[in-house]
């Protein structure tokens, strides 16, 4: 039996008997639910994050992620099954290390892998024989083998012989009550057969179904493909919205009727722009990587152009509606933006188009407030630091009536749409929130 086989066999036994210690790096919307799933699966789990405030909240049993109830979190912390820490030296104790750090775009809309690179360098200083390292951060095909692997091997240990490297794309969908981390099929691939088998064994102990593919690059391409599919189809329906608006046709009525076809059609819905960490960002990772092969990505880039332009289109429709209903310009108007989160029923504000709408309006001199029952205060972000600290205003009849327009950007279920319909003088609805609730009037402008 070869040395690498011995090393892999011992690692597999620790996973099989739940003796393996799991370390999850990055305790955000992906990492924290995964850490909870690993703890639930019987593994002693360390959650590692550079944000000491996050770690303090978690150690106190307080969750900041909707998908992780504080009650469940507190129970795992109290039992010692899950231990949050900012001490990365404890990575040496871990048998399985999962990287769940952000992969944003630069200002030039190129991949920014600094978080992945920094994390890989940190792991490399504590890397030991027998560890399984898994990258979950969404990225372009080739990252695991071309970026992470050389960093980990720089100290002399070799992937597939001394340690094992894999990729498994995250598939979290914040706010989706139908699917949780453990019920979403997990795609995995390893740098070699031993790494693939170990990754399959680990995730098989944590989630209900594991799907293996031939290589980390293939697994990376799976995730990119899923998000390109959504981005392109959302761009298509946003473009159809613009065309049908010009024709006086209700795009939501068209989509609802088309959805009755039992084959060959999948409904996508327009909105005020793209949001979330994945769909507005990930397609550009493939666009960037494709340049290495001299290949254009015309569909992807066109979809990006359309989706990025939608907030300006919404603002233009709001401007026209204010002129028609109030003979008022944006510069003299007070507007309430309803919904700051990027999608309904969550507190996730990453890449939310609401920020673009607020900033576009304020550049025109509009006085803007926001209401969001899930986001009581705007946190500090890199992209929208000037908006940090603003607080959600209360929906009161007199307050709503005082705005020249209400702009619905996110259709949370917890919003009192009846109150809005009764007291707002003008409503620009980007989500058809009022129409879906049976409200019809001339003061409602769908856009």
The number of residues making up the chain comes to: 447
- CA nearest 23: which of 134, 147, 186, 160? 134
Neighbours of 227 (CB within 10 A): 21
DSSP run (H or E) holding 119: helix 114-126
In what order do the strands lie in the sheet containing 164-167? Answer: 82-85, 44-48, 21-25, 96-99, 132-135, 164-167, 186-190, 210-212
Q: Measuring CA to CA, how many Å separate 219 from each of 3, 174, 242, 273, 436? A: 28, 21, 35, 28, 38
Q: Which of 94, 100, 196, 278 is catalytic?
A: 278
Backbone φ and ψ for 287, nearest 5 degrees, come out as -55, -45
Q: Using DSSP, state whether 105 is helix, strand or coil.
A: strand
From the CA atom positions of the chain, what is the Rg in Å? 24
Tokens of 57: 């909240």
Torsion from C-alpha of 5, 10, 15, 16, nearest 10 degrees: 90
The string over 111-129, giving b where at least 16 C-beta atoms fall within 10 Å of a residue's C-beta and e elsewhere, is: bbbebbeebbebbbebbee
Q: Which residues touch 240 (CB under 8 Å, ≥6 apart)?
A: 251, 254, 270
How far apart CA 314 and CA 417 sit, in angstroms, is 20
Backbone φ, ψ for residue 111 (5° rounding) = -55, 135
Chain position carrying tokens 């001299």:
294
User: Can 196 be counted among the known catalytic residues?
Assistant: no
Active site residues: 278
């Amino acid at each position: 039996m070869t040395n690498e086989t011995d090393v892999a066999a011992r690692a597999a036994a620790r996973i099989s008997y739940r003796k393996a210690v799991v370390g999850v790096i990055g305790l955000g919307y992906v990492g924290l639910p995964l850490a909870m799933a690993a703890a639930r699966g019987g593994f002693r789990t360390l959650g590692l994050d550079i944000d000491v405030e996050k770690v303090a909240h978690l150690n106190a049993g307080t969750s900041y992620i909707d998908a992780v109830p504080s009650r469940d979190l507190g129970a795992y912390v109290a039992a010692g099954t899950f231990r949050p820490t900012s001490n990365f030296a404890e990575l040496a104790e871990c048998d399985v290390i999962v990287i769940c750090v952000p992969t944003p775009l630069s200002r030039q809309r190129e991949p920014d892998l600094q978080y992945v690179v920094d994390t890989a360098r940190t792991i490399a200083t504590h890397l030991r024989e027998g560890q399984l390292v898994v990258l979950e951060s969404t990225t372009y095909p080739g990252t695991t083998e071309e970026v992470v692997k050389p960093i980990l091997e720089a100290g002399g240990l070799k992937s597939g012989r001394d340690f094992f490297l894999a990729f498994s794309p995250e598939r979290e969908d914040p706010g989706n009550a139908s699917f949780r981390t453990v019920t979403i099929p997990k795609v995995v691939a390893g740098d070699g057969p031993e790494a693939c088998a170990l990754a399959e064994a680990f995730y098989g102990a944590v989630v209900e179904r594991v799907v293996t593919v031939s290589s980390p690059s293939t697994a990376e391409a799976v995730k990119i493909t899923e998000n390109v599919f959504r981005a392109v189809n959302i761009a298509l329906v946003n473009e159809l919205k613009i065309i049908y608006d010009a024709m006086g046709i209700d795009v939501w009525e068209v989509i609802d009727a088309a959805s009755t076809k039992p084959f060959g059609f999948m409904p996508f819905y327009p909105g005020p722009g793209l949001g979330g960490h994945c769909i507005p960002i990930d397609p550009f990772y493939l666009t960037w990587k494709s340049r290495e092969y001299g290949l254009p990505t015309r569909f992807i880039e066109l979809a990006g152009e359309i989706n990025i332009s939608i907030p300006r289109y919404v603002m233009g429709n709001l401007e026209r509606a204010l002129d028609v209903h109030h003979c008022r310009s944006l510069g003299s108007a007070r507007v309430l933006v309803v919904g700051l989160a990027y999608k309904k029923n969550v507190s996730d504000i990453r890449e939310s188009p609401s920020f673009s709408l607020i900033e576009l309006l304020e550049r025109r001199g509009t006085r803007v407030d926001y209401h969001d029952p899930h986001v009581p205060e705007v946190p500090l972000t890199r992209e929208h630091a000037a908006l940090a600290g603003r607080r959600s205003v209360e929906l009161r009849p007199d307050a709503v009536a005082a705005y020249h327009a209400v702009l619905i950007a996110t259709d949370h279920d917890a919003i009192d749409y009846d109150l809005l319909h009764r007291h707002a003088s003008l409503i620009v609805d980007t989500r058809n929130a009022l129409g879906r609730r049976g409200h019809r009037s001339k003061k409602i402008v769908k856009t």
